[in-house]
C-alpha cells in the first residue's frame, strides 16, 4: 500500500470508530417510571441517533421529531425527520425549531424528553427572537463565519438571538425530565457550546455576544435589529438565557457520549498496525488552517520515517477571497505548498461529518506530487490559496476526499505520514 492508501485506511478506521449506533445503544435502556418518551433531536447525526433510539425504546416512544442537514437522513418508524439548511439556517430549520419547541412544551411532568444532539444543531434549529428575522440571523452567521469566528464565539451570539438555544429548550420542557445525549464537535466538549446548548446552562450573556461582534469587527455591519436586541438584553429588558443553578436543570441530565477521542484513538491504533511510529499532538488543534498546516509539515519533516503525526480539533479560515473550500481543504492545499522535494510527506485533513465548508468533500489527501498535478491542469496553487479556492485546485489535482454523509460529527482529523 502507498502512503496515500495508508492515509485513507487510517481515515476509514477513524470514521468507523465514530459510528453513533453503538454509542446511543450503550447509553439507553428500557426503564419504567415515565408515562411516555418524547424523542427530539437536531444535528447532522441526529437521524442516525434517532434510529438507534428506536431500536432500544420501541413502542415506549410516544412522539418524536428530529431535524438533520440535507442528505443526512435515516429510515425511522416512530420519529419524524425533517431536513434543513446548514451552515446557514433556512426557513425549513425555522419550522423545525418551532416544532421542537412545541413538542417540548407539550411534555408532562411524568414524561421523559430524550434529546439527541450533534454538531450542526445550532444552524438546523434557528428560532430568532423577534424582531430579528431569519434573514437577519443568516446575515450575522455569514459575517461571523467569514471573519473567522470559532464555534464558541459564533454560538455565544446565536444563543442570544434565539428562543431555542442556550438552555431555552430545557426551559420549554420544564417540568418534564430531560436526558440529552450529545456527540461533541467542539474542542473540550463544553455542553453549552455543542449545538449552542439547547438543554445546558449558558455561562455567556448578552454582553458576551456584543463583545464577539466587536472583536470580529462586524458590530456595525450586523442588522440594526440585532444590535437593538442585544443592547436591550444588556439593559435587562429581555430575559437572559438560563444560568447554572436555575431550578430547571434539576430535572435535566446532559451526557457527552462521543467525542474526537474516538477518532484519534482509532487513527493511532491503525497507524501503528500499519507500521508507523505515531506522534500524537492532542485533540485541541485550532488556529488559521494555512498556518497550522505549515507548522505540522515542518514537524513531520523532522521525524524519522516511517512516522505519523496525528491530531484532532478544528481549524478556522478567515475568508478574504471568493473561492470555495472549507478549513480542511485549505489546510491540505497549504500543506502541499509547504512540502519540499524529498520530504516524502503525505497529509490528510478531513471533517468527520463528511462535509468541509460549502462543498461535497470531507477534506483532502495531498503529497509531494499534488502541486505538479494541479499546475499541469493549469491551476496556480498559490493563487488558489490566496483566493480561498482550495476546492477547485484539489479537485483539479485529484486530491479531494469525498465520503458522503457520515452520520456522525466528531471534529476533524489531521494526519501527516512521513514514509
CATH C-level class of 261-418:
alpha beta
**Per-10-residue mean pLDDT, the chain, length 419:** 97 97 92 88 97 96 97 95 92 97 97 96 94 94 90 91 97 98 94 94 97 97 97 96 97 97 98 98 96 98 97 93 93 98 96 93 98 96 97 97 94 97
Whole-number pLDDT of residue 103? 98
In the chain, residues under CATH classification 3.40.1480.10 are 261-418
pTM: 0.91
Whole-number pLDDT of residue 223? 97
Whole-number pLDDT of residue 316? 92
| Order of strands across the sheet that contains 363-366 | 277-280, 307-313, 412-418, 345-351, 363-366, 400-401
In the chain, residues under CATH classification 3.40.50.10180 are 20-258
Which residues, in sequence order, are bridge partners of residue 308? 278, 417
Choices 3.40.50.300, 3.40.190.10, 3.40.50.10180, 3.40.50.880: CATH for 20-258: 3.40.50.10180
Per-residue pLDDT reduced to its tens digit, 377-403? 999 999 999 999 999 999 999 999 999
Per-residue pLDDT reduced to its tens digit, 86-142? 988 899 999 999 999 999 999 999 999 999 999 999 989 999 999 999 999 989 988
Amino acid at each position: 500500500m502507498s502512503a496515500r492508501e495508508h492515509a485513507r485506511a487510517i481515515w476509514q478506521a477513524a470514521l468507523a470508530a465514530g459510528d453513533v449506533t453503538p454509542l446511543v445503544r450503550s447509553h439507553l435502556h428500557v426503564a419504567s417510571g415515565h408515562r411516555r418518551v418524547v424523542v427530539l433531536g437536531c444535528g447532522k447525526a441526529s437521524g442516525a441517533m434517532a434510529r438507534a433510539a428506536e431500536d432500544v425504546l420501541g413502542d415506549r416512544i410516544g412522539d418524536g421529531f428530529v431535524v438533520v442537514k440535507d442528505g443526512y437522513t435515516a429510515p425511522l418508524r416512530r420519529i419524524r425527520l425533517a431536513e434543513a439548511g446548514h451552515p446557514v439556517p433556512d426557513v425549513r430549520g425555522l419550522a423545525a425549531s418551532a416544532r421542537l419547541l412545541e413538542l417540548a412544551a407539550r411534555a408532562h411532568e411524568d414524561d421523559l424528553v430524550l434529546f439527541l444532539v450533534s454538531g450542526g444543531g445550532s444552524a438546523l434549529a434557528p428560532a430568532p427572537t423577534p424582531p430579528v428575522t431569519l434573514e437577519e440571523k443568516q446575515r450575522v452567521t455569514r459575517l461571523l463565519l467569514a471573519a473567522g469566528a470559532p464555534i464558541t464565539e459564533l454560538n455565544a451570539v446565536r444563543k442570544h438571538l434565539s428562543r431555542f438555544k442556550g438552555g431555552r429548550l430545557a426551559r420549554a420542557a420544564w417540568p418534564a425530565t430531560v436526558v440529552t445525549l450529545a456527540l461533541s464537535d467542539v474542542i473540550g466538549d463544553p455542553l453549552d457550546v455543542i449545538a449552542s446548548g439547547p438543554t445546558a446552562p449558558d455561562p455567556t450573556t448578552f454582553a458576551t455576544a456584543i463583545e464577539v461582534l466587536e472583536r470580529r469587527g462586524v458590530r456595525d455591519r450586523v442588522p440594526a435589529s440585532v444590535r437593538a436586541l442585544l443592547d436591550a438584553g444588556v439593559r435587562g429588558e429581555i430575559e437572559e438565557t438560563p444560568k447554572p443553578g436555575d431550578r430547571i436543570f434539576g430535572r435535566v441530565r446532559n451526557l457527552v457520549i462521543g467525542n474526537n477521542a474516538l477518532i484519534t484513538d482509532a487513527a493511532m491504533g491503525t497507524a501503528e498496525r500499519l507500521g508507523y511510529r505515531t506522534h500524537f499532538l492532542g485533540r485541541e488543534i485550532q488556529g488559521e488552517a494555512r498556518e497550522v498546516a505549515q507548522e505540522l509539515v515542518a514537524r513531520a519533516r523532522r521525524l524519522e520515517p516511517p512516522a505519523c503525526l496525528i491530531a484532532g480539533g478544528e481549524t478556522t479560515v478567515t475568508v478574504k477571497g471568493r473561492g470555495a473550500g472549507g478549513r480542511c481543504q485549505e489546510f491540505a492545499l497549504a500543506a502541499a505548498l509547504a512540502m519540499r522535494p524529498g520530504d516524502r510527506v503525505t497529509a490528510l485533513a478531513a471533517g468527520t461529518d463528511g462535509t468541509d465548508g460549502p462543498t461535497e468533500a470531507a477534506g483532502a489527501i495531498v503529497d509531494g506530487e499534488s502541486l505538479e498535478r494541479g499546475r499541469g491542469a493549469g491551476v496556480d496553487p498559490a493563487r488558489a490559496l490566496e483566493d480561498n479556492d482550495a476546492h477547485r485546485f484539489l479537485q483539479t489535482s485529484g486530491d479531494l476526499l469525498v465520503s458522503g454523509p457520515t452520520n456522525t460529527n466528531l471534529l476533524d482529523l489531521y494526519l501527516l505520514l512521513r514514509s
